[in-house]
Chains A and B, each alone.
Chain A
Amino acid sequence: MKETEKESGKFPPCGYGATGLCCSSCLLGPCRISPFETNSAKGSCGDDADMVVAKNLLRLVAREAASGLKDLGEAVRNLGASASTKGTRKVPAREVKSIIQKYGLTSRVSLRRLNSYLLRESERLLSTLSEPGRPSPLVSSLYPEGAFPYIDRDAFLPDSLTNLIFDAFSHDQNESSAVEVILWQCLKTSVITFISEELRQDMHYLTHGEWLLEIETEALDVVDHPPPKPLPVVVLFSREDGLHKGLMNRTAQDLQQELKGDVLHFRIRDIGHLPTIGRRFFQKWSLSVAEVGAIVVAFSQSTASVLGALACGFTVVSLPALPIHGSDVVEKFFCVDLKEKLGSVYLPPRAGEVLPVILEYLGRKV
């Protein structure tokens, strides 16, 4: 992806967009509310600043989640076609076993039965006619209660991913939705991107015999062989071809110097690996990600990645910042209130820097 002039910092980003106060959801807009306006300022539809920021966030997340669902649908079709015709490619038994274990199946299950189980449950997840109120066993096994206690408690795990997307769009259109309800919907919807990504990765492996994007060796070393005593964890995330990659490398070097080995830190290229990391730490330390105090530093434009990590219990600092600073209510929800409800908080960057924020969170001198 080519870095645009705005992203390289030659031009400042649009202040209204960056604060979440620009709304272009109808043909009367775009409406822009100044962050310096009093509370009475409203868009042409009557939404105030809090509602504009919340709905903008929901639209961003729903768009990404819908795109993730499309990719998952394609992976399901490919696995189905491959399984019904010539059979799946030969895949190493060790990897198949680990996938079987991940989905909570008995180790005697054959590859053919694993495929048909994944296909059946994925089709249920993608269907709009799934039985409501019964979370998918696939999703429940990806998010075990021990590693992600808050996800279960707040009923984030859906019976149908497609219905959850429809819910998101319906909240966007519903004039009576409260700001907090929309913000919870944002978090729920963002989890869809994680679920679809992980399922897609596994199905791609079973279809083609190779990982779409393998977890980095450095990250795997850390999560497979962590020290016996739990340490704070810093996960740096940027896509391989993503923006701010140079900044991520510099931050990793600075972290190395500042923290001198008493914090575990590593990089990942795919945000879909975060639940795997959470599960592995729980297996080793019997602590949830929120209890470990794990921080994700996201150098990414993806709002769904940031909110999904928050929903999983990771504290997140991101660059660029989430577009939430145009509303006191929304900012407080993510930066303060979530701590009590999910055990995670969003930490906004300070003057475009993430390192001071990370150090302060870890209780180090800045």
Chain B
Amino acid sequence: MVCQSCVLACQMNSLGVSNVTEIPRDGKPIQRMRVTWFHGTPWTWKCQQCVSAPCVEACVSGSLRHGEGEGGVIHDRETCAGCGACLLACPFDAVTPDEDGDRVAKCDLCPEEDIPPCVKACQSGALVYQDPMLFAGNKRKKFLRGQKVHREGD
């Protein structure tokens, strides 16, 4: 099952709506993420905020750039030319044409929010908002603990 709660939360945020009773009937949300089945596993197609980002390299108008500190990859919709070079460059298929098709849209981690709405909406814990190095470190530790138990069991 793909619950899609993150996608709906992202769409509502793109329309500036926080409550389901206020969803505009003719609203056309920007698609900044999507979830599909990929080789039998639910897969979130969203920007991975690459440290060495091919989309930034490909952007001819300079509207895609690295954020300061750990701000991920920022997209400035005002300066976007809509050339689509980033769409071709992104290995994760995370950049999409926007609702009018004349610019592109991608996840920018919602800098105006403390926690991105998609992460808040995710009830299964599949989406987390954390320092990637810390997250990777914890995952490594967990893996090693598992290995140790396995060896002791042998």
**Residues in B neighbouring A133, C-beta threshold 8 A:** none
Count of B residues near A, CB < 8 Å?
23
Give the segment of B13-21, B40-48, B60-68, B90-98 that binds chain A.
B13-21
- CB distance B8 to A16 under 8 Å? yes
Task: Out of A15, A19, A321, A326, name the residue touching B9 (CB < 8 Å).
Answer: A15
> Roughly how many angstroms separate A325 CA and B22 CA in the complex, as a whole number?
9
Contact with A along B1-36 (1 / 0, CB 8 A): 101110111011000001111110101110000000
- The verdict on A34 contacting B9 (CB below 8 Å), with A11-B120, A348-B21, A351-B19 known, is no
- CB distance A328 to B20 under 8 Å? no
Q: Does chain B have a CB within 8 A of A32?
A: yes
> Roughly how many angstroms separate A30 CA and B2 CA in the complex, as a whole number?
9
Main DSSP-derived SS at the A contact region: loop
Q: Does chain A have a CB within 8 A of B89?
A: no
**Residues in B neighbouring A19, C-beta threshold 8 A:** 20, 23
- CB distance A325 to B120 under 8 Å? no
- CB distance A325 to B5 under 8 Å? no
- CB distance B21 to A350 under 8 Å? yes
> Roughly how many angstroms separate A106 CA and B27 CA in the complex, as a whole number?
61
Say which size band chain A's interface belongs to: 20 to 34
Task: Out of A15, A32, A350, name the residue touching B20 (CB < 8 Å).
Answer: A15
**Residues in B neighbouring A351, C-beta threshold 8 A:** 18-19, 22
Q: Does chain B have a CB within 8 A of A73?
A: no
Q: Does chain A have a CB within 8 A of B79?
A: no
Give A28 Cβ to nearest chain B Cβ, in Å: 10
Interface residues of A (CB under 8 A from B): 11-12, 14-16, 18-19, 29-30, 32, 34-36, 321, 325-326, 328, 348-352
Interface residues of B (CB under 8 A from A): 1, 3-5, 7-9, 11-12, 18-23, 25, 27-29, 117, 120-121, 123
